[in-house]
Amino acid sequence: MHQIADPHEIRAVFSLKPLIDFWSDVIAPADVSCAAMLDEILGYIKAKPELGDPIEDLSILEPHWNLIGKLMTAVFPAAFWESEVVGALVPFTLRPVFVSPLFERLLLNQDGSFRGHLNIDMDAFARARLIRFYLLILRRCYGIQKDLDYPLIQIVEDPETGLERHFRFKPNLSFVDVHPIGELRKLSDRDLSTILEHLGEPEIVRQILPYEEFEFRGFTVIQALDVTESEVISYLERSLIDRESVFSPTAFSSLQQKLRTFFKIPDLVAGMAAIKGDQVLLLNAGCQIACECIFAGSVHVPTVEFRGSIFEKAVQQGSMLRIRDLSEMENLTKVELEFVRAGIRAFLVAPLYYQGEAIGVLNLGSMTLGRLGPEEELRAGQIIPVFSMALNRALDELENRVQAIIKEKCTAVHPSVEWMFRENVFAHLERLYNGESSEMEPVVFRDVFPFYAAADIRGSSEARNRAIQEDTAEHLRLGLAAIDGALEIRPLDIFRELAHRLRSTLQSVSKGMGSGDEVSAIYLLRKDVEPLFPFIRGFSPAVSDAVDAYSAAMDPVLGTVYCKRKDFEESVARLNDRIAAYLDREESAMQSVFPHYFNKHQTDGLDYLIYLGPSMVEKGGFNELYLKNMRLWQIIVSCGIAWQADRIKGSLKIPLELTHIILVNNSPMSIRFRFDEKRFDVDGAYDVGHEIVRSRIDKATVKGGDERLTQPGKIAIVYSRIQEAEEMRRHVEFLSGQGFLLDDLESLELGELPGVQGLKALRVSVDLDSLLLAERCAHMGPNE
């Protein structure tokens, strides 16, 4: 791979000539007084010839700042010099020459180097600089006009507040001259075409047009635009996707720091409260409350403690509530007193809603009296939709977690190992009866063999995202139809503006869903479109029909268009139910052959884990033959799952493809039951290796390329030992002869996975037209 050019290898020097030429060609001819000034400047430079040549040693400029300041007024108007963050740099370097006071104060260290850091690493910065370098050569020397919009953002600490500020650099190369060194290289049409095609790979362009053949003279004009607000909002949208950002104190602390930057308040304290039935969860409340809760980073407070509080008032009035001085309020509730004791004075409470229902509040506090005013309230309005969606998502995931814990606590121990738990409990009760102290003894099964397999829906994430995109777009189209109808009857400018925003959002969504797009679209419809329906409905029958069509398309529970997502989820559910029912039936039959531990996990597809070994059998009677039978059974079951998926695929609203993988491990291991999580886990560091492999093989690729190991209609059998491969190959050959599998067995080496090396695989296609396979699966009904 070619190396990116060292910036020191590029020939770039400061020169006043491009600026003097600008004065001569543009400014002086238009103004007599400027012409006189130019004559004075030229006379000065003639007496100081070192100023007319390219200047590598910038210290030469120090005695001449008055002259340079006059020249630079053509670039930096005096009216904006004190208020703008602007400057002149040596071309394609970070060496400042002439900068405004704000530029120097905010962006430069005392030695003239830049403070803070860029939003990209130095390699990416060097690459972007080289691309601009070549674009300037193409424009000036070859007449090819092409621009690059590559945002460079410098993140610095504000010297007054200590908070982050983000400045986007906007470079202007108007005062940079390109000087070929020697004769300008002639380029053919093919050369130019290759350069344009590979502009993003300057190391390739260099082979056709070496940068050593050019020198840049002049200076780059830099305007630094403060984009702190938009950058922080983007950060919040990205971060709030993660549930932990709401419930984890550490993650929320990072959010709080960004909120301080957003509001420009160094002592800002943020907190959230979620309404959950008759309880309020204080999430990262910004003050210490001595109470424990099973939810990480949260505190339970009964809703009765919020009666009459500013939190209740904000929710009841449905809008933000600002308090100039919290300590001056009368009849403070217990929760409000906690904030006062923490030193909070100014306070703002914003209710969070989802589908018209209050789900919580976002509160902001400051120790500075009156610090949260109307401006901060307007700013808060920009982030409320993001926090509302994030809190709703977090509460949904929390509910799923609660249900999973309840199910886990209440699920009976698997029948195959119940005997061991029964003996353990009896021994524990006997010790207690004899007056001895007692704890439940560990439940450990040694020398058991793991059997793992998975059937995953290929591309489920992409299909789900596509469904969200289509539903959001349809939601926007329905809203736009109503507004367009109203605009046709009453051509108000405000309707035109709203229609424009809807069309822009629709176009953006149609091109692809980005972070926060769904939140923004739904917020736009709920805030600005739906409240107009009672008013515009009476404009005409057509408008009334459009409003009715919008309402009819809304899901009654979710309050949004949920058509494509519903189709996708129903398709996944039907497929999962079909293959899960088949697996349960087959596993039940195998359980009667020989008892074993079985655990199934179902998401987009399913996977299962089986443990089998002599220590799991209460009265002995184990034989290695059962291990071989289980491995053969795994392949047969994978064939059956593939057959079931193929038969149901045509009736699904969204066609779904399954991939199949089996992990072979002939090494015995020990497993321990974890009472805190009510599940089995490997016992010992050595056996953890199997868990690592099991968690990562779904991402495995064939060595030497990007081809995924798992493919629809095929079974991948992953192994690490030759003996494992020989046994599975015999099973595959047998099933091929029986008609379960096709005769296309592949032997593959797998690419390295994180922490996993040396894996290999067999891959073979399922014969989906096999009569024997159909007969085995036939007694399951088509909708079972």
Please identify which residue in the block is written with the tokens 């006379």: 43
Identify which of 447, 324, 386, 400 has the alpha carbon closest to the alpha carbon of residue 603: 400
For the chain, the distance separating the N- and C-terminal CA atoms, rounded to the nearest angstrom, is 56
CA angle 780, 783, 784 (to 5 degrees): 45
* pLDDT greater than 70 at residue 781: no
Same domain as 346, residue 218: no
Instruction: Report yes or no: 247 and 296 within 8 Å, Cβ to Cβ.
Output: yes
Please identify which residue in the block is written with the tokens 């300057």: 202
Report how far residue 72's alpha carbon sits from residue 86's, in angstroms, rounded to the nearest whole number.
11
Q: Which of 226, 247, 281 is the last residue of a domain?
A: 226
Compare 438 and 159 and report the one with higher pLDDT: 159
Tell me, rounded to whole angstroms, the distance of Cα 658 from its chain centroid.
26
CATH no. for residue 267?
A: 3.30.450.40
Q: Residues 504-509: what's their mean pLDDT?
A: 89
Using 50, 70 and 90 to split pLDDT, how confident is the model at 698?
A: confident
Report how far residue 308's alpha carbon sits from residue 736's, in angstroms, rounded to the nearest whole number.
74
DSSP for 238-281 reads HHTTSTHHHH-HHHHHHHHHHHHHHHT-TT-EEEEEEEETTEEE
Cα dihedral across residues 272, 273, 276, 280: positive or negative: positive
* pLDDT greater than 90 at residue 762: yes
Report how far residue 224's alpha carbon sits from residue 166's, in angstroms, rounded to the nearest whole number.
9
Bridge partners of 607, per DSSP, are: 454, 601
pLDDT of residue 675: 62
Q: How many residues does the chain have?
A: 784
Structure tokens belonging to residue 219: 């200076």
Same domain as 634, residue 532: no
Report how far residue 152's alpha carbon sits from residue 339's, in angstroms, rounded to the nearest whole number.
40
Q: Residues 560-588: what's their mean pLDDT?
A: 91
pLDDT digits 0-9 by tens, 246-283: 666 677 788 888 889 888 889 898 888 887 665 676 66
On the 0-12 / 13-18 / 19+ scale of CB atoms within 10 A, 709 is buried
Residue 576 lies in a domain: yes
pLDDT of residue 588: 87
Using 50, 70 and 90 to split pLDDT, how confident is the model at 288?
A: very low
Compare 772 and 740 and report the one with higher pLDDT: 740
Q: Are strands 669-674 and 164-172 parallel, antiparallel or unpaired?
A: unpaired
Residue 613 lies in a domain: yes
3-state secondary structure of 435: coil
Report how far residue 609's alpha carbon sits from residue 665's, in angstroms, rounded to the nearest whole number.
12
Q: Name the average pLDDT for the chain.
A: 82
Report how far residue 65's alpha carbon sits from residue 76's, in angstroms, rounded to the nearest whole number.
15
Same domain as 236, residue 221: no
pLDDT of residue 432: 58
SS (H, E, C) 355-406: CCEEEEEEEEEECCCCCCCHHHHHHHHHHHHHHHHHHHHHHHHHHHHHHHHH
**Listed range (2-16, 375-389, 605-619, 689-703) with the worst mean pLDDT:** 2-16
Tell me, rounded to whole angstroms, the distance of Cα 635 from its chain centroid.
37
Identify which of 83, 124, 122, 121 has the alpha carbon closest to the alpha carbon of residue 100: 83
Instruction: Report yes or no: 83 and 102 within 8 Å, Cβ to Cβ.
Output: yes
Using 50, 70 and 90 to split pLDDT, how confident is the model at 683?
A: low
Same domain as 238, residue 319: yes
Angle between the 228-239 and 374-410 helix axes, to the nearest 10 degrees? 10
pLDDT of residue 5: 44
Tell me what percent of the residues of the chain surpass a pLDDT of 70. Answer: 85
* pLDDT greater than 90 at residue 717: yes
Residue 559 lies in a domain: no
Same domain as 126, residue 46: yes
Using 50, 70 and 90 to split pLDDT, how confident is the model at 289?
A: very low
Range of the domain at 417: 412-441
Residue 756 lies in a domain: yes
Instruction: Report yes or no: 509 and 598 within 8 Å, Cβ to Cβ.
Output: no
Instruction: Report yes or no: 172 and 221 within 8 Å, Cβ to Cβ.
Output: yes
* pLDDT greater than 50 at residue 27: yes
Residue 447, C-beta contacts closer than 8 angstroms, at least 6 positions apart: 613, 614, 615, 668, 669, 670
Q: How many domains does the chain have?
A: 5
How far apart, in Å, are the Cα atoms of 475 and each of 387, 418, 524?
21, 52, 11
Residue 451 lies in a domain: no
Q: Residues 723-745: what's their mean pLDDT?
A: 94
Bridge partners of 269, per DSSP, are: 365
pLDDT of residue 105: 92
CATH no. for residue 602?
A: 3.30.70
Same domain as 361, residue 436: no
* pLDDT greater than 50 at residue 370: yes
What's the pTM value of the predicted model, to 2 decimals?
A: 0.47
Same domain as 282, residue 367: yes
pLDDT of residue 238: 78
Please identify which residue in the block is written with the tokens 């009368």: 330
User: For residue 622, what is the DSSP state?
Assistant: -
Residue 558 lies in a domain: no
Using 50, 70 and 90 to split pLDDT, how confident is the model at 574?
A: very high
Report how far residue 387's alpha carbon sits from residue 390's, in angstroms, rounded to the nearest whole number.
5
Identify which of 755, 682, 658 has the alpha carbon closest to the alpha carbon of residue 454: 658
Same domain as 768, residue 705: yes
Identify which of 90, 89, 114, 91 has the alpha carbon closest to the alpha carbon of residue 104: 114
Residue 455 lies in a domain: no
Using 50, 70 and 90 to split pLDDT, how confident is the model at 624?
A: confident
Identify which of 570, 638, 575 has the alpha carbon closest to the alpha carbon of residue 783: 575
SS (H, E, C) 627-670: HHHHHHHHHHHHHHHHHHHHHHHCCCCCCCCEEEEEECCCCCEE
* pLDDT greater than 90 at residue 612: no
Instruction: Report yes or no: 84 and 91 within 8 Å, Cβ to Cβ.
Output: no
Same domain as 240, residue 215: no
Report how far residue 234's alpha carbon sits from residue 258's, in angstroms, rounded to the nearest whole number.
11
Instruction: Report yes or no: 648 and 629 within 8 Å, Cβ to Cβ.
Output: no
Instruction: Report yes or no: 389 and 526 within 8 Å, Cβ to Cβ.
Output: no
CA torsion angle for 416, 419, 422, 427 (degrees, to 10)?
A: -140
Using 50, 70 and 90 to split pLDDT, how confident is the model at 764?
A: very high
Encoded amino acid at 377, one letter: E
* pLDDT greater than 60 at residue 298: no
3-state secondary structure of 705: coil
Please identify which residue in the block is written with the tokens 């403060």: 226
The values of phi and psi at residue 64, to 5°, are -120, 25
Using 50, 70 and 90 to split pLDDT, how confident is the model at 355?
A: confident
Compare 289 and 538 and report the one with higher pLDDT: 538
Using 50, 70 and 90 to split pLDDT, how confident is the model at 407?
A: very low
Angle between the 374-410 and 517-524 helix axes, to the nearest 10 degrees? 120
Encoded amino acid at 258, one letter: K
Q: Residues 228-248: what's their mean pLDDT?
A: 75
Residue 643 lies in a domain: yes
Same domain as 583, residue 685: yes
Most confident of 299-308, 432-441, 597-606: 597-606
pLDDT digits 0-9 by tens, 213-229: 899 999 999 999 988 88
pLDDT of residue 549: 93
pLDDT digits 0-9 by tens, 112-148: 889 888 888 777 887 888 888 888 989 989 888 887 7
Instruction: Report yes or no: 176 and 136 within 8 Å, Cβ to Cβ.
Output: yes
pLDDT of residue 639: 95
Identify the helix (H) or strand (E) that includes residue 135.
Answer: helix 122-142
Using 50, 70 and 90 to split pLDDT, how confident is the model at 304?
A: low
Q: Residues 380-385: what's their mean pLDDT?
A: 88
Same domain as 661, residue 677: yes
* pLDDT greater than 70 at residue 467: yes
Cβ atoms within 10 Å, residue 181:
11
Instruction: Report yes or no: 331 and 234 within 8 Å, Cβ to Cβ.
Output: no
DSSP for 442-467 reads PEEEEEEEEEEEEEEETTHHHHHHHH
Q: Are strands 11-14 and 214-218 parallel, antiparallel or unpaired?
A: parallel
pLDDT digits 0-9 by tens, 515-535: 677 888 888 898 899 999 999
Report how far residue 359's alpha carbon sits from residue 353's, in angstroms, rounded to the nearest whole number.
6
pLDDT digits 0-9 by tens, 83-103: 999 999 999 888 999 999 999
**Listed range (19-23, 278-282, 331-335, 553-557) with the worst mean pLDDT:** 278-282
Report how far residue 96's alpha carbon sits from residue 354's, in angstroms, rounded to the nearest whole number.
50
Same domain as 586, residue 468: no
The values of phi and psi at residue 452, to 5°, are -130, 140
pLDDT digits 0-9 by tens, 629-643: 999 999 999 999 999
Instruction: Report yes or no: 512 and 235 within 8 Å, Cβ to Cβ.
Output: no
Cβ atoms within 10 Å, residue 505:
20
Tell me, rounded to whole angstroms, the distance of Cα 551 from its chain centroid.
32
Tell me what percent of the residues of the chain surpass a pLDDT of 90. Answer: 29
Tell me, rounded to whole angstroms, the distance of Cα 106 from its chain centroid.
31
